[in-house]
Amino acid sequence: SRFKFKGRDMLFGIMISTLFLPQVVLNVPQYLMYNSFGWVNSPFYLPLWVPTLFATETYFVYQLVQFMRSIPHDLDEAAAIDGCGPVKILYKIIAPMLSPSLVACGLFQFMWSCNDYMGPLLYVQTPSKYPMSIFVKLSMDADSGFNWNRILALSLISIIPQLVVFFCAQDAFIDGISAGAVKG
């Protein structure tokens, strides 16, 4: 979003158009790719956390681009006059200003991956290795009725990591979400 180059708007349009692709369209190619890597049913849950580590969702790229567009170009010009190159401008000027938005992206990705239901069903083939999100669902048996005490306890245990991470990064998350809002 900071550099002008030929085809920039077209590439941005193509990237935004991928938001319209549902995840189920990508499941078969991703499964084939992870299976060729040997990641399916790996003991380290590689297909679940490696893509989330890099925040490969188009939504996050869009959020960061929009946030970077709100940063004035005068800061870049002032840093260039002071002798900074493009990499140093990115590292010293823009990256610290992006930290609230990066924290917001990280929290969204963490919450989405903790609540992911389809990914573990595809990539984890051993039921004893399922994460909590699936274990809570599997503990509900429609035939014999629900043991609500157990289900509520499992639900509480499964959201504790999300609550801890959210409360640790709450201030930066609120700054990242409200960064584009009009202040009065």
Q: How far is CA 67 from CA 48, 97, 162, 181, in A?
A: 27, 9, 25, 11
Beta bridge partners of 141: 145
Q: How many separate domains does the chain show?
A: 1
Residue 132 lies in a domain: no
pLDDT at 182 exceeding the cut of 60: no
Whether residue 136 contacts residue 184, with contact meaning beta carbons closer than 8 Å, is answered with no
pLDDT digits (tens, 9 = 90+) for 111-134: 988 888 899 999 999 888 898 888
In a domain, 74, yes or no: yes
pLDDT > 80? residue 55: no
Tell me if 66 is assigned to some domain: yes
* Residue 8: per-residue pLDDT: 92
Flag whether 155 is in a domain: no
Where do we find the tokens 């499941």?
Answer: 27
Question: For residue 156, is it within any domain?
Answer: no
The yes-or-no verdict on residue 7 having pLDDT over 90 is yes
Q: Is residue 16 part of a domain?
A: yes
Mean predicted lDDT score pLDDT of the chain: 87
- Domain containing residue 83: 8-125+168-177
The predicted-structure confidence for 121-171, as pLDDT tens digits, reads as follows 999 998 888 988 888 888 887 777 778 888 899 999 999 999 999 899 888
Q: Are 99 and 172 in contact (CB under 8 A)?
A: yes
159 in a structural domain: no
CA distances in angstroms from 184 to 64, 135, 175, 181, listed in the order given:
24, 46, 15, 10
In a domain, 160, yes or no: no
> Which among 66, 59, 43 is positioned nearest to 129, based on CA atoms?
43
